[in-house]
Structure 1
Amino acid sequence: MSSGTGAPAEGAAGSTVVLGEAEIARALTRIAHEVLERNKGGSDVVLLGIPTRGLPLAQRLATRLAEVEPGLDESALVGSLDVTMYRDDLAHHPTRVIGATNVPHDGIDGKVVVLVDDVLYSGRTIRAALDAINDLGRPRAVQLAVLVDRGHRELPIRPDFVGKNLPTSTSERVRVLLAETDGQDAVLISGGAR
C-alpha cells in the first residue's frame, strides 16, 4: 500500500502501488462531489458501472452521493452495463463471458447517465458502452467517471471525472484491485521502463 506521502510503494511481483486504499477513497469522494456540482444535485443521475470493477466503483460513488445529498436512494442510483456484445474486438477475443445489464427501475430516459469504469485506456470499452446505452433508452446526457486515466486514446473520448491521471507507456500494465473483487484496494503499475 502507498504510504500516503505521495511516493509510490513497491507492490507484489515488481508492481508499484500508485494509489492505496486511502487515496482511492479520497478520489471517489472528490468525484462524487464533482458529479453533484456539475449536475446541480443527484436527483436525475444514474450511475452505470461497467463490470467487472466499474460496478463496485459505481456502488461506492452512489453511497457517497447519498451521504452528501440526503434523500437520494443509493440503490436507485446504480445499475450495471455489460458491453461484451458491443465490443469491436470479439473476433480477436471471442471467449468472453456475457454479463448482466441492470438499469435502475426508473430507467435512463431523460436522466444524466454517468458511466463508471476503473481504467480508461484506448476508449474502446466506452465506445461499446455508448452503443449499449443507445439500446436502453435516451438519456439527457452521458458523462464518464474513471478511477484512472492512463492515456493512449484510440478514439476521441475524454473522461468528465478522473480519480488519477497516470501517464504510462504502452508497455506498462495498470491493475486496479478492489476489496469487493480482489480483497484489497490498490492501483498497481508494472512493466515498462520507469
Structure 2
Amino acid sequence: MTQSRIVLGPDEIARALTRIAHEILEANHGPKDLVLLGIPTRGVHLAERLAARLTDITGEDFAARTGALDITMHRDDLRARPTRAPHPTRIPAVGIDDQVIVLVDDVLYSGRTIRAALDALSDLGRPRAVRLAVLVDRGHRELPIRADSVGKNLPSARSEHVSILLDEVDGEDAVVIEDGAA
C-alpha cells in the first residue's frame, strides 16, 4: 500500500518563495538585469509567483522580466519518452544576452532537466550568469548541478516520489512525498 504525506502546505510554500525572492536579490545585489525563466510546467508558475514577490519587494515590474524555457528537444530521454508535449518558450523583451538568468523549477533531482535547460538557453543567447532556484531539492544528483536557492531540502529515497501541487495546475498548493511500496 502506497503511503503519502504532505511535507509543505500552502503557507510553507508561500514562505519558501518569499525567502527565495530575497535570496535572489541578495545574491544579485539588487534587481538589476535579472530575468526569471520557468521550466514548464510548474516551474513557469513558480517563476510567476517569484516575479510577483520581487515586484512587491523592489517596486519594479518583474512580470515583464519573466518567461518560460522549453527544454523538450534538449532532453536526453527523448528516445525513451518521445511523446512529451512541447511548451512554448517565452523570452522577455529584454532578452537574455548579458542578463542574469534565474532558471526556476519545482524539483531538483538528477540534474538532467537543468542540463537540458542550460543547453536550451545556450541556443538562445549568452547570459552574463545563470542561477537556479527550486522549490524542492530531493538529492540523488547524477550531474554536478546545485541550486543557488532552495525552498526545502527534502532527502528522499529513490523509490519515493515527490509531487509538487500548485493551485494554478492542481487546484491546491502542497508538496507531497509518496513511498514507492506497491
**TM-score scaled by length of structure 1:** 0.91
- Give 1:192 shift: 3.8
Contact map agreement 2:65 2:94 (CA 8 A) in 1 = no
Alignment partner, residue 145 of structure 2? 157
How many pairs are equivalent? Answer: 180
Secondary structure of 2:64's counterpart equals: helix
Structure 1 CA distance, aligned partners of 2:162 and 2:27?
28
Alignment partner, residue 190 of structure 1? 178
Alignment partner, residue 49 of structure 1? 38
Structure 1 CA distance, aligned partners of 2:33 and 2:96?
9
**AA aligned opposite 1:112:** V
Contact map agreement 2:109 2:141 (CA 8 A) in 1 = yes
Contact map agreement 2:40 2:87 (CA 8 A) in 1 = yes
- Give 1:43 shift: 2.2
Alignment partner, residue 107 of structure 1? 95
Secondary structure of 2:31's counterpart equals: coil
Structure 1 CA distance, aligned partners of 2:92 and 2:121?
13
1:31-74 C-alpha deviation (Å, 9 max, x unpaired): 0000001101112100000001000000000000011111x112
Secondary structure of 1:146's counterpart equals: strand
1:77-116 C-alpha deviation (Å, 9 max, x unpaired): 2000010000000010011101100000010111000000
RMSD over aligned Cα atoms: 1.0
Unaligned runs of 5+ in 1: 1-12
Higher relative contact order (CA 8 A, sep 6+): 2
Structure 1 CA distance, aligned partners of 2:35 and 2:62?
10
List aligned pairs for 1:69-148, cutoff 5 A.
69-70=58-59, 72-148=60-136
Is 1:20 aligned to residue 20 of structure 2?
no
Percent identity over paired residues: 67
Structure 2 CA distance, aligned partners of 1:100 and 1:60?
19
Secondary structure of 1:151's counterpart equals: coil
**AA aligned opposite 1:159:** A
Unaligned runs of 5+ in 2: none
Contact map agreement 2:69 2:120 (CA 8 A) in 1 = yes
Structure 2 CA distance, aligned partners of 1:181 and 1:124?
23
